[in-house]
Structure 1
Amino acid sequence: MSERYGNGNGSADWWLRPGRAEDVEAVAELRAVVLRADLERLGRYDERRVRQRLRDGFSAAYTSVIETPGVPLAGCVTLRPEGTGLCLEHFYLAPALQGRGLGTAVLRHLLDRADAAAAPVRLSVLRGSAARRLYERMGFTREAEDGVDVHMVREPAPRR
């Protein structure tokens, strides 16, 4: 069953559907397209490895596929339990849909769920990635970094 979300005018602008095992290849391809420029900039792009890392870590149970009208694979996101919090990973949007507010809307929805559970959320983003600005706007702060990744955390918002 899909969760549908709109912009308030009665139409669904995007929705999440549960991931399925058969999504793995399409999601691996999306990952390769989305991460290519950043990985090349970091000298880390490998045509095979970028897809295999997704395949190796793919969990349909914690993955949602983002769909929009006319785009059955607009993106994907994984939000899985990790310790006392959640780990956000594999958050990719089709390049044509980036910069239009969809990533913000999806992330806000997921963070609202994390806040309701009083769970911190952790993620890693490639150094120099434009996605880091989105995460910082949504309250994530740098926890650590290495030569490739910036590790970030967002504590749950206080209950009102």
Structure 2
Amino acid sequence: MTRSHDLRVRPALSSDREFFFEVRRAALRAYVEQTSGWDDAEQRITADKEFADLPFAVVEESGRPVGYACVIHQSEYDFVEEIALLPEAQGRGIGTHLLRGILRAAQRRGVPVRLSVFVNNPAQALYTRLGFEVVRIEDPRMSMQWTPGNA
């Protein structure tokens, strides 16, 4: 388990672009391969566009980048676009810590939190444990929502 004071979240810099792609490949490739297939060149184009267009943040543990997160704040809800951690950072409470922070912020705003996850991604167990409920399944993804006061 990671102590929360060892974690820092900072805005992504242009110099983080390659790190962003490497984390995405390490964390998500297996799930994408099982659903639609992974093409490195195509995934890099998509990742570069998303990195340029969305408000990503880098997650650091003891000063070392270990992953990234992106939350989009809408007036009526927050949307977790993506959270991805390097394999060696997974299963140590980092994702749980990040999600709890996102949920606390949404609770203060009084808005639900939505996300979409691959149906074959074991992270859905974490989301369920934190109070997310399945809203819709459209293979290969499922939409989930956390509502303030329901967790």
**What is the TM-score when the length of structure 2 is the normalising length?**
0.87
Matched, 1:67 2:29: no
Q: Does 1:90 align with 2:100?
A: no
Q: Tell me how many residue pairs correspond in the alignment.
A: 149
1:137 equivalenced with 2:132 (yes/no) = no
CA distance in 2 between partners of 1:147 and 1:116 (Å): 33
| Paired-residue identity, % | 30
Whole-angstrom distance in 1 between the partners of 2:58 and 2:70: 9
C-alpha separation in 1, matches of 2:24 and 2:39: 12
SS in 2 for 1:58: helix
Structure 1 segments of 4+ aligned residues over 3 angstroms from their partners: none
CA RMSD of aligned residues (A): 2.1
The letter for the 1-side match of 2:28 is L
CA distance in 2, matches of 1:106, 1:60: 21
Larger helix percent:
2
Helix, strand or coil at the partner of 1:75: strand
Unaligned runs of 5+ residues in structure 2 are none
- Structure 2 residue 138 is the aligned partner of structure 1 residue 146: yes
CA distance in 1, matches of 2:134, 2:83: 18
Higher relative contact order (CA 8 A, sep 6+): 2
State the partner residue of 2:21: 28
Q: Find out whether 1:80 has 2:72 as its counterpart.
A: yes
Once the two structures are TM-superposed, the CA of residue 53 in structure 1 deviates from its matched residue by 2.0
Q: Tell me how far apart the structure 2 counterparts of residues 122 and 68 of structure 1 sit (CA, whole Å).
A: 26
Question: 1:38 matched to which residue of 2?
Answer: 31
